[in-house]
């Protein structure tokens, strides 16, 4: 059996608005699902504030640890948009005007009227990227993200972030996607725990998780098996289903 | 003017289900809002997997850096619930049976019938805490969380996590809560950027953020000023409102 290639990623959510509670982040979940589809294991995510020293230190801490780093937030035209500059400083390169990014912005603002049509200095900031970076196109608002080495810098607005991620996703090199089987039942976790632990011990290559929930006032648990190997996953899931039945309940595939 | 006491916190979200994309986390936002109400600045959040070495290293990395650490997830009865044990190892203490936690579980299961009524070995795991820890009561399911030094260990299920946090919140020692004023308008961020940066420069003690949005197909931006000082906040917000008006739009208080 050949060794499996495990490709890893880390997400950095950059923005005071998440840490203040103003905004409920939904980018992490989108990226988690998309990375899994690309066969990439999301190993860690961090939410950090708009503070240059923190952004620089965090980027430099995580980029040697994971295959891919994805950042969200802080690439707009205002004073609190400092991600691009910080990533340049993290890599020790200059932040430079990218001619194509500028042309895209020019085309974007060309057909507009009023103050929002002006490609002013603030908007031109969005055409600056670290030297050597390549663009991530943004069909929504025209302001590009960029990639430098293994770091992908994307917008924080979900619609734009999603468009940027879909733009780069086909080019990501992942391993086999992790497949999942989820079985719900109404037993207590503590009732399932011993048998579930025994199954996990027999399937160390399958990640088995137990997630209790309350839905419409009722209590239940979802037992989730995850593995890139479909056959092993099916075997483990069958054992989980048998465990639920042995305890007097009926597993419901989710 | 006296120096302001800044009390800080870090949230650790422990769980493969967040990193796999199975679950959309909502605990961070709840904690962010609640900590702010308690006058505590949430400086960082991390999502980490159910891997003992990662949990131990992360707890030990962040606990000297922040006044309070809050963890969510991994304190149930199943094999993948390893947070309590990892926190004990992070502190270099034993994981011990807490008599009161056991009594609470006994009382909780006493009135029940069937397999879910049994206080078996797996459920008794939930009454184990690091030596020296104090309990965080859980009115929802009976299984306690705990506090050891500045680390608060809570459940991952949102209803339980929220109950536990509300339990400890009155005892947290914070500084002044950060107040916020949010003004929405339909101008582009790039149109506002220069004036906004000038206001930020005049109010270095007020944190001014610019958050673009799409709502019902329309584009706009929320300008948010945040400060624990109500008077300074009002001055800065007035300047932001004047900026919006000077550019031909009307600010809408959010």
| The residue to which tokens 């952004």 are assigned | A55
pLDDT tens-digit profile, chain B (254 residues): 556 789 999 999 999 999 999 999 999 999 999 999 999 999 999 999 999 999 999 999 999 999 999 999 999 999 999 999 999 999 999 999 999 999 999 998 887 777 777 889 999 999 999 999 999 999 888 899 999 999 999 999 999 999 999 999 999 999 999 999 999 999 999 999 999 999 999 999 999 999 998 877 778 999 999 999 999 999 999 999 999 999 999 999 99
- Pair type for strands B40-48 and B128-130: unpaired
pTM attached to this predicted model: 0.95
pLDDT in tens, A191-220: 999 999 999 999 999 999 999 988 777 789
Task: Considering only CA atoms, give the Rg of chain B.
Answer: 22
What backbone phi and psi angles, to 5 degrees, belong to B31? -65, -40
Quote the DSSP letter at residue A203. -
Give the minimum alpha-carbon distance from B18 to chain A in angstroms, rounded to a whole number: 7
Q: Is B8 on the interface with A (CB under 8 A)?
A: no
Burial class (CB within 10 angstroms; exposed 0-12, middle 13-18, buried 19+) of A253: exposed
- The first and second tokens of residue A59, run together, are 């980027």
Among the partner-chain residues A18, A29, A248, the one whose CB lies closest to the CB of B21 is A29
- The first and second tokens of residue A161, run together, are 């972030």
pLDDT score for B110: 83
Yes or no, beta carbons of B194 and A159 under 8 Å apart: no
Q: Is A246 on the interface with B (CB under 8 A)?
A: no
pLDDT in tens, A86-112: 999 999 999 999 999 999 999 988 877
Question: How far is it, in rounded angstroms, from Cα A251 to Cα B180?
Answer: 48
Q: Is A64 on the interface with B (CB under 8 A)?
A: no
Q: Tell which B residues from 80 to 109 touch A, by Cβ distance under 8 Å.
A: 80-81
| The residue to which tokens 């609470």 are assigned | B104
Q: Which of B136, B28, B50 minimizes the C-alpha distance to A211?
A: B50
Question: How far is it, in rounded angstroms, from Cα B42 to Cα A48?
Answer: 9
Q: Is A25 on the interface with B (CB under 8 A)?
A: yes
Largest Cα–Cα separation, chain B: 70
pLDDT in tens, B47-106: 999 999 999 999 999 999 999 999 999 999 999 999 999 999 999 999 999 999 999 999
What backbone phi and psi angles, to 5 degrees, belong to A181? -130, 130
Please state the rounded mean pLDDT for residues A73-94: 97
Cα A136 to its chain centre, rounded Å, is 16
Count of other CB atoms within 10 angstroms of residue A6: 14
Count of other CB atoms within 10 angstroms of residue B57: 14
pLDDT score for A2: 58
Question: How far is it, in rounded angstroms, from Cα B101 to Cα B124?
Answer: 9
Question: How far is it, in rounded angstroms, from Cα A53 to Cα B175?
Answer: 24
Yes or no, beta carbons of B26 and A24 under 8 Å apart: yes
Yes or no, beta carbons of B42 and A50 under 8 Å apart: no
HEC secondary structure over chain B: CCCCCCEEEEEEEECHHHHCCCCCCCHHHHHHHHHHHCCEEEEEEEEECCCHHHHHHHHHHHCCCCCEEEEECCCCCCCCCCHHHHHHHHHCCCEEECHHHHHHHHHHHHCCCCHHHCCCHHHHHCCEEECCCEEECCCCCCCCEEEECCEEEECCCHHHHHHHHHHHHHHCCCCCCCEEEEEEECCCHHHHHHHHHHHHHHCCCCEEEEEEEEECCEEEEEEEEEECCHHHHHHHHHHHHHHHHHCCCCCEEC
Please state the rounded mean pLDDT for residues A106-125: 84
Indicate the average pLDDT of chain A.
Answer: 94
- The first and second tokens of residue A173, run together, are 């090199």
Among the partner-chain residues B25, B115, B196, the one whose CB lies closest to the CB of A187 is B115
| The residue to which tokens 């963890």 are assigned | B71
Quote the DSSP letter at residue A178. P
Question: How far is it, in rounded angstroms, from Cα A247 to Cα A149?
Answer: 52
- At residue A225, the 3 state secondary structure works out as strand
Q: Is A194 on the interface with B (CB under 8 A)?
A: yes
Yes or no, beta carbons of A189 and B48 under 8 Å apart: no
- The first and second tokens of residue B173, run together, are 């020692």
Burial class (CB within 10 angstroms; exposed 0-12, middle 13-18, buried 19+) of B102: middle
Cβ-based contacts of B54 with chain A (< 8 Å): 44
Give the minimum alpha-carbon distance from A91 to chain B in angstroms, rounded to a whole number: 22
Yes or no, beta carbons of A46 and B45 under 8 Å apart: yes
Q: Is A184 on the interface with B (CB under 8 A)?
A: no
Share of chain A above pLDDT 90, in %: 88
Yes or no, beta carbons of B122 and A194 under 8 Å apart: yes
- At residue A234, the 3 state secondary structure works out as helix
Yes or no, beta carbons of A187 and B226 under 8 Å apart: no
Give the minimum alpha-carbon distance from A252 to chain B in angstroms, rounded to a whole number: 17
Among the partner-chain residues B28, B81, B248, the one whose CB lies closest to the CB of A115 is B248
Q: Is B116 on the interface with A (CB under 8 A)?
A: yes
Cβ-based contacts of B188 with chain A (< 8 Å): 115-116
Q: Is B120 on the interface with A (CB under 8 A)?
A: yes
- The first and second tokens of residue B230, run together, are 């109500």
* Element of type H or E holding A45: strand A40-48
- The first and second tokens of residue A243, run together, are 């465990």
């Amino acid at each position: 059996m050949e060794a499996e290639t495990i490709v890893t990623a880390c997400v950095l959510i950059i923005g005071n608005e998440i840490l203040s509670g103003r905004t409920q982040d939904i980018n992490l979940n989108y990226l988690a699902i998309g990375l899994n589809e690309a066969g990439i294991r999301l190993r860690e995510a961090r939410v950090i504030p708009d503070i240059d020293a923190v952004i620089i230190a965090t980027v430099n801490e995580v980029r040697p640890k994971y295959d891919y780093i994805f950042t969200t937030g802080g690439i707009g035209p205002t004073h609190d948009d400092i991600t691009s500059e910080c990533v340049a400083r993290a890599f020790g390169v200059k932040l430079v005007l990218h001619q194509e990014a500028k042309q895209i912005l020019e085309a974007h603002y060309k057909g507009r009227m009023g103050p929002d049509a002006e490609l002013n200095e603030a908007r031109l900031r969005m055409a600056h990227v670290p030297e050597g970076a390549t663009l991530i196109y943004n069909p929504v608002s025209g302001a590009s993200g960029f990639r430098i080495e293994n770091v992908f810098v994307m917008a924080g607005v979900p619609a734009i972030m999603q468009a940027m991620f879909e733009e780069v996703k086909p080019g990501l090199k992942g391993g086999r996607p992790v497949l999942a089987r989820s079985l719900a039942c109404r037993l207590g976790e503590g009732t399932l725990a011993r048998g579930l632990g025994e199954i996990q011990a027999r399937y160390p290559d399958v990640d088995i998780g137990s997630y209790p929930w309350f839905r419409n006032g009722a209590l239940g648990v979802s037992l989730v098996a995850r593995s890139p190997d479909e056959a092993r996953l099916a075997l483990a899931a069958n054992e989980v289903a048998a465990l639920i039945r042995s305890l007097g309940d009926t597993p419901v595939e989710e």
